[in-house]
Amino acid sequence: MKNAVFDDADQQQSIDLIPRSCGEVTVGCSDVAGIVKAVIESSERLRAEHGALQGTVSELEADQQKVSEASDEARLLSERAIERLGQGTSLIQSSLGQISGLLELVETLTQHVTGFAAAMEQVRRCSQDIDQIAETTNILALNATIEAMRAGDAGRTFAVVANEVKSLAGDTRRATEEISRTIDTLGGEAESVIAQIENGAEASKNAKASVAQIEDTIGGVAELVEEVDRQNDQIARATGTISDHVHRVQDVLASFDSAALANESKLENAHHRMEELELTASEMFDGIVKAGLSPKDSVVVERAQSLAKEVAERAEKAISAGELSMDALFDQNYQEIPGSNPPRFRTELTDWADENWRPVLDRVAGEGAPVIMCSQADMKGFLPTHVTDASRQPTGDLAHDTKHCRNGRILFETLDQKAKRSNAPYMMAVYRQEGDGMSYNVVRNVYVPLYINGRRWGDFEVAYKFDD
């Protein structure tokens, strides 16, 4: 078998591929970890929405139960109303029969009174005839008296008879006058009674019509109540169907919830393994760069160390000049800025850092590729300042403020914590740089310990990315 022979050029090319491949693996691990994390967050949001949906379904079931109870109550009330309306209709019909009988009695009474009035009128005429006869008799008696006076003693007996006849005629006339007055009085009273009876009869007719109308109305109301009862029956059946559907939906949601929890658990395990792999890849990447096997990354490291030195010297110079105190520099009394979202903080270092460190950050960021961003964070991940483009005024929009308002944030992820624990001259890593909260950018990062007057303040960081 023929041995493979590599010349120096091939060997160097193979060696050069190691850091590139390692970097690509590290970037890939970080990218995959980010994807898995995004899936987990999406699953959590989905489960939260699922929980809200379950709450809605539970509320729907409760409302459906209330509708069912209300429907049953309405049906019971409808049955009672129909029963009461039936009783009322019977009473009204009975009253209508009694009123009809009363009306017939009034009509009969009216006829009798009318007949009585006619009889009274006949009596009045007879009385008038008697009065006329009495008048005639009186005249005849007067003539007889005159003739008796002419006859003298011979007509004395006749005169006595004539006087008696005259007296009888007077009595008859007075009697007929009394009868006439009595008849007139009775006639007036009879007319009044007849008028009242006629009014009563008319009122009875109106009452009869009103009662009949009430009877029709109650009959219509009874029909409406019966229709409502039928509708309630349909509602009850529909409510039962809805209840069955709600129970099916709850079963499906419960099954979905179990599956979602199981998937989340698996994703969490996968993400945990990916984070471990990400850390391992970053450690491998860090070792390769420190071994001098990645010249391109080493150039960025040297640049970061130079910038860290410049930043430290600016702080030491300000402290010497009395412009900045060590207490202000190491102030960890983070005061949250009201209304900031994501939360941002201030310390006694903030204003000085904006004035003295930000110009360095802006200058480096303005140099372009491969540097994407640079910053400095204290031992707890606090960023006292940032580049101008990432220190904009908040708008209240979460995506905007997450991406463009990074000054004052506290970012202390796993790699950041590891860098703070490291005492090495620098540490290499690959991480997912936060974007607008929904997306991220995978970058390489170099952490350079930042010592000021011999005391570890934090790290100076340079994030970069090669195009190839």
Residues 310-349 pLDDT 10s: 999 999 999 999 999 999 999 999 999 999 999 999 999 9
Describe the strand order of the beta sheet including 455-464 as a list of residue ranges.
371-378, 455-464, 440-452, 427-434
210, amino acid identity: S
Task: Give kind and range of the element (H or E) at residue 180.
Answer: helix 156-290
Asked whether residue 390 carries a pLDDT value surpassing 70, the answer given is: yes
User: Are the beta carbons of 258 and 86 closer than 8 angstroms?
Assistant: no
Task: Please check whether residue 444 is in contact with residue 430, taking contact to mean a CB–CB distance below 8 angstroms.
Answer: yes
In the chain, % of residues over pLDDT 90:
31
What does the mean pLDDT of the chain come to? 77
pLDDT tens per residue across span 245-254: 666 766 666 6
For the stretch 35-73, pLDDT in tens is 666 666 666 666 666 666 667 767 766 766 777 677 677
Q: Tell me the CATH class for 19-293.
A: mainly alpha
Check: pTM over 0.75? Answer yes or no: no
- The DSSP element (H or E) to which 452 belongs, if any, is strand 440-452
- pLDDT higher than 60, residue 130: yes
Q: What's residue 277's pLDDT?
A: 74
For 282-302, the pLDDT digits (tens) are 788 888 899 888 899 999 999
* CA 67 – CA 390 distance, rounded (Å): 56
What is the domain partition of the chain in residue ranges?
19-293, 294-468
Q: Which of 450, 431, 449 is nearest to 441 (CA)?
A: 431
The CATH architecture that domain 294-468 belongs to is: 2-Layer Sandwich (3.30)
Cα(217)–Cα(27) distance, integer angstroms: 85
